[in-house]
Chain A
Amino acid sequence: MENRPPVIDLNEVVVKYRPVVSFKVRKSLGAHTPDWEDVVNEVITQVIEKVQKGEFRGDSSIGTYIYTITSRRIIDHIRQKTKVLRSVPEPVPLPDPCDNAENRERAQIVAQAIQQLKPKFKEVLNLYYYQELTRDEVAERLGISPRRVSERLNYAQRLLRKMIRP
């Protein structure tokens, strides 16, 4: 008996997966790549078309299916860009003022919250996230156990979440 394609609510899929696809694309291409949003739109369009054509058979989850399309599209994009770069220099990216303003505001709120933390929490955030030491290295530097480092990191993030929550 032939497998029927699963019923998918495309609106729901787009709403749920656009942020995830955007994150993956930005992470892979870099947030300063000017056309990352075009890549996201192309991925979403491809997903909609493939689902509408019945190409998604439900062999994997819809999440995995979208992840596969996203990864392939990113690789294609990088290949195309590499070809372009060989012939013509890439134009200087124009910053998106809205995106920048929003990010700046968010970063400002987070920065203020970090400054209000106790020194022992700031210290562990500095060593782990800014200096990018491993958990064991941070533990050695501070003379505490790696487990204690994890506890401090988690607690610092819980405090920040509380402070930032609107």
Chain B
Amino acid sequence: MKKCLFADQIDDYLLNRLEGEPKERFEEHYFNCPSCFRQIEERDTLISTIKSRGAWIFRDKPAAERRAWVPAWRRAVSSFSPRQWATVGVAAAAILIAVFALMPQFRHASPQFFLNENEVVRGESLTLMSPIIDVRAVPTFFEWKPLAEAAEYKISLFNGGLLWSAATQDSRITVPVETQQRMLPGQRFAWQVRAFSARGALIAVSSKVQFQIAPAD
């Protein structure tokens, strides 16, 4: 677009540097030139703002103030040299390699269980399903939720001391008749299941669930 010859006088006019005939010629021009008038209005707003706000408008904000809104991570990023970045990259790669190389060795290691009076247990949870509440008759089986990693379960039945224990590969076990005969109505029992991996490592222990067989009428 061709520039108007008068456009160069806009600043001089607004800054009162035009006088007499040149000023009148310029004013007459912008009455006839919408393009120049638009520029004059825009420039006038700019100059009025600068004049009314004063010199502070051009000052740079203090460094502390300017940095305050910059997120900490951006400051950290910007403070790293390329060499430091390279070191960080190598260190991160080494950590990842170490983690992935060593992880399989620990994957099948036994979790630590401390089965004492207080039953401090860490590891996967093993949920018992039946019996978990008081029952009317002597239970003929015990059942729990299977664990994918478990190759064998060991069940223990307590009645004060250990009454019966057995091992199975299923998540359900039938109570032997002789054990059933030792479970009398009115008595209270507790049972617990432990799960073992194929390598024989203990991987889960259930809580000890109590139940009572209803007293005979």
Task: Give me the interface of A with B, judged by CB distance under 8 Å.
Answer: 16-17, 19-20, 23-24, 61, 63-64, 66-67, 70-71, 103, 106-107, 110-111, 114-115, 119, 122-123, 125-126, 128-130, 132, 157, 160-161
Kindly name the residue among B28, B40, B49, B53 whose own CB sees the greatest number of chain A CB atoms within 10 A: B49
Specify which chain A residues have a CB less than 8 angstroms from the CB of B57 in the assembled complex: 111, 114-115, 122
Are A61 and B32 in touch, CB under 8 angstroms? yes
Specify which chain B residues have a CB less than 8 angstroms from the CB of A103 in the assembled complex: 48
CB distance from B40 to the nearest CB of A (A): 7
Q: Given A20-B30, A64-B32, A130-B58, do A111 and B47 touch, yes or no (CB 8 Å)?
A: no
Specify which chain A residues have a CB less than 8 angstroms from the CB of B15 in the assembled complex: 129, 132
Are A129 and B37 in touch, CB under 8 angstroms? no
Are A130 and B51 in touch, CB under 8 angstroms? yes
Q: Which of A17, A64, A115 contacts B28 (CB 8 A)?
A: A64
Are B31 and A114 in touch, CB under 8 angstroms? no
Task: Give me the interface of B with A, judged by CB distance under 8 Å.
Answer: 11, 15, 24, 27-28, 30-32, 34, 37, 40-55, 57-58, 60
Q: Which of A24, A63, A126, A157 contacts B46 (CB 8 A)?
A: A157
Are B53 and A67 in touch, CB under 8 angstroms? no
Specify which chain B residues have a CB less than 8 angstroms from the CB of A123 in the assembled complex: 58
CB distance from B54 to the nearest CB of A (A): 8
Q: Given A107-B53, A114-B58, do A160 and B41 touch, yes or no (CB 8 Å)?
A: no
Q: Given A115-B57, A126-B55, A132-B15, do A17 and B31 touch, yes or no (CB 8 Å)?
A: yes
Q: Given A23-B40, A24-B27, A161-B42, do A111 and B53 touch, yes or no (CB 8 Å)?
A: yes
Are B32 and A63 in touch, CB under 8 angstroms? yes
Q: What residue of chain A has the Cβ atom nearest to residue B47's Cβ?
A: A129
Rounded to whole angstroms, the CA-CA distance of A88 and B209 in the bound complex is: 105
Are B50 and A129 in touch, CB under 8 angstroms? yes
Q: Which of B11, B46, B60 contacts A119 (CB 8 A)?
A: B60
CB distance from B52 to the nearest CB of A (A): 6
Q: Which of A61, A67, A115, A119 contacts B27 (CB 8 A)?
A: A67
Rounded to whole angstroms, the CA-CA distance of A64 and B48 in the bound complex is: 27
